[in-house]
């Protein structure tokens, strides 16, 4: 197995302290948002044999296994991250696989450069993802019941929100949610800025359930995404709890430290809370306008001590081991590629000693014995 040297991305919303504290190093004073583990070309992990992209490209079947290559092609299908949100991320949604292929092909035909700021589809893959909290973790996930959202907006006492409140009482609920989100994102920018300012002041005054939106407005003053965020379920995960985010589900992470895993894609359509491009027509084509419970996941324990976060896709499988005894050894050998990440304590993986934030890549079929006292996350695929 290969010890990984991983890149930390300094996005503006990142916490300056959470990832350094996990790694046990001094903060730099700059935001440190995401630590990437995998073979994404944007920031591949480095090994003693070269970057993980180079390692996989040199012999895909040896590194990934024949079954994974046959199912997903000659590349690592997932990207694992440690994500540290010190401020809200953009409100966003991801396409399904057919939409991604169609959108990517269309933008390629039209000759839009892949790094153009108005480009929606950076690749032809979907991007389902899972976030597992390491600390208390706040996020937004999926639409609230429209009547609940109407009550939340109405109680702010902002006159310019009344048309949205009325729309949310309409039927059917999917049409009501679509109309309201469309109205928010296409409103006159100056009028919406004034509405957001009034709503933010009311949220700060009321506190309680409104506190998250006051904080969002503090970071994104005047942004229509502040009002759009109030249409979504607010979720507070406790350590060990997770959220699965499938195609078409609007979401945003607000604050906290977590382990995130996703299909290896960069496709994001933004709804707000960002200075970046928002393609409203394409966004409305992708979003699933269905209200419902966000579905907090808790791991399913197996007899060998593995705790699995069940999801409906095969590109990734995330689980964890809480190792209570230094002398016990667990055999994690699998016919598929793995990344093992320590998040607490001290874990021995093969010949490597892992402390929090340290990780290894295990090629398909390679012996993978672990021991120690701590918490180890395991990322792999179903092939």
Catalytic residues: 270
Q: Where are the alpha helices (DSSP H) in the chain?
A: 18-23, 52-58, 60-64, 66-72, 97-109, 146-154, 162-168, 173-186, 189-206, 211-219, 225-229, 280-286
Residues 353, 334: contact at Cβ < 8 Å? no
349-362: buried (b, 16+ CB within 10 Å) or exposed (e) per residue?
A: bbebebbbbbbbbb
Whose tokens are 């729309």? That residue is: 167
Paired tokens of 136 = 């208390």
CA distances from 226 to 170, 179, 198, 345 (A): 22, 17, 11, 39
Q: At 326, give phi and psi (nearest 5°).
A: -65, -30
Nearest to 61 by CA among 292, 383, 286: 383
Give the β-pairing of 359-362 and 242-245: unpaired
Q: At 115, give phi and psi (nearest 5°).
A: -100, 10
According to DSSP, the residues that pair with 265 across neighbouring strands are none
- CA angle in degrees (0–180, nearest 5) for 183-189-190: 125
Whose tokens are 């909290």? That residue is: 133
- The terminus-to-terminus CA distance of the chain in angstroms comes to 20
CA distances from 291 to 146, 250, 294, 371 (A): 7, 11, 9, 44
- CA angle in degrees (0–180, nearest 5) for 356-362-364: 155
Paired tokens of 372 = 């120690």
On the 0-12 / 13-18 / 19+ scale of CB atoms within 10 A, 12 is exposed
């Amino acid at each position: 197995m290969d010890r990984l040297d991983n890149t930390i991305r300094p996005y503006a919303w990142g916490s300056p302290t959470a990832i350094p504290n996990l790694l046990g190093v001094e903060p730099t004073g700059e935001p440190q948002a995401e630590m990437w583990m995998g073979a994404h070309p944007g920031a591949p992990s480095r090994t003693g044999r070269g970057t993980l992209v180079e390692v996989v490209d040199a012999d895909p079947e040896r590194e990934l296994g024949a079954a994974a290559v046959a199912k997903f092609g000659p590349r690592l299908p997932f990207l694992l991250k440690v994500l540290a949100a010190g401020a809200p991320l953009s409100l966003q949604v991801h396409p399904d696989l057919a939409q991604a292929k169609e959108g990517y092909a269309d933008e390629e035909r039209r000759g839009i450069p892949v790094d153009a700021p108005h480009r929606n589809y950076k690749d032809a893959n979907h991007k389902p993802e899972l976030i597992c909290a390491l600390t208390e973790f706040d996020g937004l996930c999926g639409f609230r019941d429209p009547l609940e959202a109407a009550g939340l907006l109405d109680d702010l006492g902002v006159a310019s929100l009344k048309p949205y409140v009325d729309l949310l009482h309409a039927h059917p609920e999917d049409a009501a949610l679509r109309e309201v989100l469309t109205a928010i994102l296409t409103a006159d920018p100056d009028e919406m800025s004034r509405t957001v300012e009034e709503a933010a002041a009311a949220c700060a005054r009321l506190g309680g359930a409104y506190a998250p939106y006051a904080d969002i407005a503090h970071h994104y003053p005047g942004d229509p995404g502040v009002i759009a965020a109030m249409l979504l379920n607010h979720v507070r995960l406790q350590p060990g709890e997770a959220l699965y985010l499938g195609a078409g589900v609007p979401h945003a992470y607000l604050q906290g430290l977590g382990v995130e895993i996703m299909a290896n894609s960069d496709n994001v359509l933004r709804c707000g809370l960002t200075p970046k491009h928002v393609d409203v027509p394409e966004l409305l084509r992708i979003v699933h306008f269905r209200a419902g419970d966000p579905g907090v996941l808790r791991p399913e324990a197996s007899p060998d001590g593995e705790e699995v976060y069940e999801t409906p896709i095969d590109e990734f499988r995330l689980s964890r081991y809480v190792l209570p005894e230094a002398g016990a050894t667990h055999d994690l050998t699998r016919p598929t590629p793995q990344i093992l990440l320590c998040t607490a304590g001290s874990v021995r993986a093969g010949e490597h000693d892992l402390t929090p934030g340290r990780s290894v890549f295990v090629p398909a079929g390679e012996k993978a014995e672990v021991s120690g006292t701590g918490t180890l996350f395991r990322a792999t695929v179903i092939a």
